[in-house]
Chain A
Amino acid sequence: MNPPIDPIAARLERELKHARPLIGCRFDPSGRFVFASSEDDTIQRFDLLTGTKTALLGHRSWVRGLAFVGTPIAGSGEVAAWQRRQTNLHAVAGFGGTMLPPPKAAPFTLISGDYHGNLIWWQGDAETPKPIRTVEAHKGWVRAVVVSPDGTRIASCGNDNAVKLWKADDGTLIRTLEGHASHVYNVAFHPDGTRIASCDLKGVAKDWNIKTGVADRDLDAKILTKYDPTFMADIGGARAMAFSPDGSKLGCAGITNVSNAFAGVGNPAVVVFDWKDGKAKVLKPKDAFQGTAWGFVFHPAGFSLAAGGGSGGRVWFWKGDDVVSMHMLTIPGNARDLALTADGERFAVANSGGSVYVYTFTPGPATTPVAPPKK
C-alpha cells in the first residue's frame, strides 16, 4: 500500500543529460531505468541506480514509441535502498565512485517504434541492448507503441492511418485496425485488455474491440485539431493518450485554440472522456501557457498530470475532477514527453534540451532549482 501521494510534494530528483534533443521517455517496468529517445536516432538508457548511460543503436530515424514487456517490481524500494547506501559511500568516495555492485536488473523487453515505420525489439536489461527483431510495421511514421496489460500484445499506430496489433513475443501481426482517415497519433490499451483506443490528427478517437477489430464508436476530440486556413495545413492529434488505472477515463492530450499553426500558437489541453458514456471534459492549465501538451498520465493516486512545451516547459497537475490545474512545475526547454513509474513514485520529463528531469513524490532533500539552459 503506497502512502498518499501529494502532487505538491513533487521535487526534482535527477537531471539526466544527453547531448541531443530528446523526443520520448519511458520507465522500464521496474522503474530502475529511464529510456529516452533522441533526435540522433538513438535511444538512451539511463540507469537510475548506477548513473550509467547506455545508447541503444539500431533505429535509423527518430523514435517516439517506447513500450515494455516485463514484470513490474513492486515498489522501487530496492532502488531507494541501494541509493541510500550509495549516497553514504559518495560522502567518502565522491559521485561515481561506486563501491557496491548494483543489483542485477530484472529481465524485460523494450519495443520501440520509429519514423521510418519500424518496430525494434530489444533485451532492455542487457548490458548493451542490441536489436533482436526489426519489423516493418507501418508505411511512414510509427507514432506510438503500447503493450497490452497482460504483456502479450503490442499495439502500434502511424501515418498509414492504421492501428496494428502484434504478438509481443515474436512480432507476428495479429490484426490491422482500419478506419482512421488521417494519421493515427496515439494508441492505448484499456486496462481490461479487451479494447484499444486510438486518436488521429483530425481529433477522431476510436474505441476498438480487439477481438472483432471493429471500432464500435468514435469519440470526439476535435478540439485538439485545426485546419489553419492561413497556412493551409492541419495541426493537432493526440500527442499523448492514457487510460486511468481503473479504466473509467481516457485522456487525449494535445493543442487547442490554435491561431497560428506554423508558430505553434495555441494552448495545451487534455480531453478526458468518461469511458462509459463518452462524455468529454477538457483539462487546461491554470496559466496562460502557449504550446502543446506532449505527455499525459493518470496517477494511481487519483490525480493526473501533463507535460507541455512551446514556450518553455511545464508540468501541470489536476486533482480529481478538476478541469483547471492546481499545481505546476517549470522546466527548461520544451517538455516533449512524460513518463510515470509503475508504482507512481517517480515521473520523468524529456525535453528539447536533451535532458530528462526525474521527479519524485517521496520526501527528500530540498529540490535544487533547475538552471535555465545556457544559450
Chain B
Amino acid sequence: MQRCTYSCNTADHGLSRRAFLGASTAAALGPSGFANAYANAELAKTQKRVLVIFLAGGASQLETWDPKPNTDTGGPFKAIPTSVPGTHIGELLPYTAKQMHRLAIVRGLNSVSDDHGIGEKIMLTGRKPEPAVEYPHIGAVAAKLLGNSAASALPGHIQILPKGSSGFGKADATFLGPKFGSVSLGDGKPPADLLRPANMTAESDAAREDFRRKLNDRFAKSRKSAATDAYAESFEQAERVVKQGEVFDIEKEDPKVADRYGRHDLGRHFLLARRLLEAGVTYVKVSHSNYDTHHENFDFHIEQLGEFDRPFAALMDDLAARGMLETTLVIVMSEMGRTPKINANYGRDHWSRAWSVALGGCGIKGGAVVGKTNANGTVVTDREVYSGHLFHTYLQAVGLDSSKSFHPNDRPIPIADPKTAAISEILA
C-alpha cells in the first residue's frame, strides 16, 4: 500500500501504528518502551546512551557558555578561565569550568523560534515544526535506534521533571509508535503503577502471574497471533521492569556519592539519571526549572546556575569515573537563549538567533569550541548552525548514520533534517 510520500501530508498516526503492528513478529509488537530483549550481551558494555539536561525556560548564553563581560549586553558577571586554555565561561559555573576539557561548546546556534513550546520542539526534534509532520523527539529516536541494553527491561525514554506527577507520554514518539514515548518521573518519582503495590506480596504476585501464564500457554496452542503474543509478552516485560525497580530508589546509592551530587532536588535528579543510564536506559532527560528570566535575570541565574553547577560537575565526574562517559552523550540545552539586550527590569527576554549549547561525552571532542558571536553577542559571526545540525551531531556522536530515514507507512522521513549536517568540528 503506497501512502502519500510528500511532506505536505500529515503523518497519519493511526496508520503509523497500523503499519507498526502490521509487522508480524512479537518483537516488533513488543510492548513498549521496553528494552530490545534481543540485543546481545556485548552491547551492554558498549551500549550508547544519551543524557539531555534541559535548562527549561531558556538559560542565558551570556551567563553560561558565551559570556560577554564589560559590554553593553554582558551584564555584571565575569568570564572565568576553564580547564581548557583560552576558553572562558560565565563566573556562575566555577565547577563546570573545570569540566570544559570534557565538553564542547557550540556558540553559533540559531534556533529560529522565540516561543517556548515551538523552541522546545525545535531543539528536541531538530526540525522546524511543519504543519504536516510531527517529528519524534530525540529521546524517542535514541530509544528506537540505540535500544536499551539486553540486561535492562526499563523504558528506553525517560524524562525526570522538576515536579508534578509521573506518567507515560506517547505523543513525543509520534510516528515511531507509543513504545518509544517518554516515561515522565515528576520530581524523580516513578509512575504510580510501576512498582508492586505495598499491600501485595511478591508471592501472591508470582502466583497470579504463574496462573496467567498457564492460561496464555493453553490459549496460544490454538489461537496464537502476533497480537496475542505481544499482549502476553508485555506482562513479562513489565515484570522485568518491576525487578529493576530499585533503580528508581536513590536511597540505595552510596551516601558519599549522593553528597557529591548535593542533597537537593537537582542533585537527586542527576543522581537518578545516572542510576537509570547505568541500568541500561537509553535516553534520560533531566529538566531544571526555570530560566525564563524576563525580570531579574542576574539574580535568578545566580540561584538557578548555583543549583546546576556543582551537581552537573559531580555528574560528569561520576560518569567519567564509572567509564560511562565514553558511551554516554551529554547535552546541555534549553528551548532558546536569552536576549543580549538587558531590559528595564534587569531581565533578558526570549532569543533564538545566537546562543549556545554544550555537549560532552560519547563521540564529542572535549574542549572544542565551534561558532562565534560578535563582541556583544547579538549576531553569529562564524559557523552558524541550526537545531538540525545539532541533531545530526547527536546521532553521529553515538555512532548512528544520521542520513538514514524512518519509513512510517513506507514513506521515507529522514531521521535528521537533510538540509543540515553534523558539526564535524566537535565530533571526536
Q: Which residues of A contact B (CB under 8 A)?
A: 20-21, 39-41, 60-62, 114-116, 140-141, 159, 183, 229-235, 261-264, 291, 309-310, 333-334, 352-353
Question: Which residues on A sit within 8 Å (CB–CB) of B342?
Answer: 21, 39
Question: Which residues on B sit within 8 Å (CB–CB) of A183?
Answer: 302
Cβ-neighbour of B290 out of A21, A141, A233, A352 (below 8 A): A233
Question: Which residues on A sit within 8 Å (CB–CB) of B294?
Answer: 262-264
Q: Which residues of B contact A (CB under 8 A)?
A: 57, 69-70, 72, 75-78, 162-163, 289-290, 292-296, 298-300, 302-304, 342, 344-345, 347
**Cα A333 to Cα B345 with chains together (Å):** 10
25 contacts between A and B (CB under 8 A): A20-B72, A39-B342, A60-B69, A114-B76, A116-B76, A183-B302, A229-B163, A230-B290, A231-B289, A231-B300, A232-B162, A232-B289, A233-B300, A235-B299, A261-B295, A261-B296, A262-B292, A262-B296, A262-B347, A263-B294, A264-B295, A264-B296, A309-B344, A310-B345, A352-B345
Cβ-neighbour of A231 out of B69, B77, B290 (below 8 A): B290
**Cα A310 to Cα B344 with chains together (Å):** 8
**Which chain B residue shows the least CB distance to A201?**
B299
In the complex, the answer to whether A262 meets B57 with C-beta atoms within 8 Å is: yes
**Which chain B residue shows the least CB distance to A309?**
B344
**Which chain B residue shows the least CB distance to A117?**
B78
In the assembled complex, the CB of A210 is this many whole angstroms from the nearest CB of chain B, namely 28
Question: Which residues on A sit within 8 Å (CB–CB) of B72?
Answer: 20, 39-40
- Given contact pairs A41-B70, A264-B294, enumerate 13 new A-B contacts (beta carbons under 8 Å): A62-B75, A114-B76, A116-B76, A230-B290, A232-B162, A232-B163, A233-B303, A234-B303, A235-B296, A235-B299, A261-B300, A263-B294, A352-B344
With most chain A CB atoms within 10 A of its CB, the pick from B293, B300, B304 is B300
**Which chain A residue shows the least CB distance to B298?**
A115
**Cα A209 to Cα B345 with chains together (Å):** 35
Cβ-neighbour of B302 out of A61, A140, A229, A263 (below 8 A): A140
**Which chain B residue shows the least CB distance to A266?**
B295
In the assembled complex, the CB of A36 is this many whole angstroms from the nearest CB of chain B, namely 16
**Cα A291 to Cα B346 with chains together (Å):** 12
In the complex, the answer to whether B300 meets A262 with C-beta atoms within 8 Å is: yes
**Which chain A residue shows the least CB distance to B300?**
A233
Question: Which residues on B sit within 8 Å (CB–CB) of A234?
Answer: 303
Cβ-neighbour of B76 out of A20, A62, A334 (below 8 A): A62
Question: Which residues on B sit within 8 Å (CB–CB) of A39?
Answer: 72, 342
In the complex, the answer to whether A60 meets B290 with C-beta atoms within 8 Å is: no
**Cα A233 to Cα B307 with chains together (Å):** 10
**Which chain B residue shows the least CB distance to A264?**
B295
In the assembled complex, the CB of B152 is this many whole angstroms from the nearest CB of chain A, namely 31
In the assembled complex, the CB of B80 is this many whole angstroms from the nearest CB of chain A, namely 11
Question: Which residues on B sit within 8 Å (CB–CB) of A264?
Answer: 294-296, 345, 347
In the assembled complex, the CB of B287 is this many whole angstroms from the nearest CB of chain A, namely 10
Question: Which residues on B sit within 8 Å (CB–CB) of A233?
Answer: 290, 300, 303-304
**Cα A334 to Cα B342 with chains together (Å):** 13
In the assembled complex, the CB of B72 is this many whole angstroms from the nearest CB of chain A, namely 7
Known: A21-B342, A61-B77, A159-B302. A262 touches B295 (CB 8 A): yes
Rank and list the top 3 A-B pairs by shortest CB-CB distance, nearest first.
Answer: A264-B295, A115-B76, A352-B344
Question: Which residues on B sit within 8 Å (CB–CB) of A232?
Answer: 162-163, 289-290
**Which chain A residue shows the least CB distance to B302?**
A159
Question: Which residues on A sit within 8 Å (CB–CB) of B75?
Answer: 62
**Cα A62 to Cα B298 with chains together (Å):** 11
In the complex, the answer to whether B295 meets A263 with C-beta atoms within 8 Å is: yes
**Which chain B residue shows the least CB distance to A62?**
B76
Question: Which residues on A sit within 8 Å (CB–CB) of B344?
Answer: 21, 309, 333-334, 352-353
Question: Which residues on B sit within 8 Å (CB–CB) of A231?
Answer: 57, 289-290, 292, 300
In the assembled complex, the CB of B29 is this many whole angstroms from the nearest CB of chain A, namely 40
**Cα A21 to Cα B57 with chains together (Å):** 25
With most chain A CB atoms within 10 A of its CB, the pick from B70, B75, B76, B292 is B76
Cβ-neighbour of A61 out of B76, B289, B295, B345 (below 8 A): B76
Question: Which residues on B sit within 8 Å (CB–CB) of A60?
Answer: 69-70, 78
Question: Which residues on A sit within 8 Å (CB–CB) of B289?
Answer: 231-232
In the assembled complex, the CB of A30 is this many whole angstroms from the nearest CB of chain B, namely 30
With most chain A CB atoms within 10 A of its CB, the pick from B75, B289, B298, B303 is B303
**Which chain B residue shows the least CB distance to A235?**
B296
Question: Which residues on B sit within 8 Å (CB–CB) of A333?
Answer: 344
In the assembled complex, the CB of B335 is this many whole angstroms from the nearest CB of chain A, namely 14
In the assembled complex, the CB of B58 is this many whole angstroms from the nearest CB of chain A, namely 10
**Cα A171 to Cα B248 with chains together (Å):** 54
In the assembled complex, the CB of B140 is this many whole angstroms from the nearest CB of chain A, namely 27
**Cα A21 to Cα B300 with chains together (Å):** 20
Question: Which residues on A sit within 8 Å (CB–CB) of B70?
Answer: 41, 60
Cβ-neighbour of A116 out of B78, B295, B347 (below 8 A): B78
With most chain B CB atoms within 10 A of its CB, the pick from A20, A39, A333, A353 is A39
In the complex, the answer to whether B304 meets A334 with C-beta atoms within 8 Å is: no
**Which chain A residue shows the least CB distance to B303?**
A233
**Which chain B residue shows the least CB distance to A237?**
B299
**Cα A154 to Cα B413 with chains together (Å):** 68
**Which chain B residue shows the least CB distance to A40?**
B72
In the assembled complex, the CB of B394 is this many whole angstroms from the nearest CB of chain A, namely 27
In the assembled complex, the CB of A4 is this many whole angstroms from the nearest CB of chain B, namely 36
In the assembled complex, the CB of A19 is this many whole angstroms from the nearest CB of chain B, namely 9
**Cα A116 to Cα B92 with chains together (Å):** 12
In the assembled complex, the CB of B56 is this many whole angstroms from the nearest CB of chain A, namely 9
Question: Which residues on B sit within 8 Å (CB–CB) of A141?
Answer: 76, 302
Question: Which residues on A sit within 8 Å (CB–CB) of B292?
Answer: 231, 262
**Which chain B residue shows the least CB distance to A64?**
B76
**Which chain B residue shows the least CB distance to A310?**
B345
**Cα A328 to Cα B342 with chains together (Å):** 27
Question: Which residues on A sit within 8 Å (CB–CB) of B57?
Answer: 231, 262
Question: Which residues on B sit within 8 Å (CB–CB) of A353?
Answer: 344
**Cα A352 to Cα B342 with chains together (Å):** 10
In the assembled complex, the CB of A200 is this many whole angstroms from the nearest CB of chain B, namely 13
**Which chain A residue shows the least CB distance to B345?**
A264
In the assembled complex, the CB of A307 is this many whole angstroms from the nearest CB of chain B, namely 14
**Cα A334 to Cα B346 with chains together (Å):** 10
Known: A232-B290, A264-B347. A61 touches B304 (CB 8 A): no
**Cα A116 to Cα B72 with chains together (Å):** 17
**Cα A232 to Cα B72 with chains together (Å):** 29
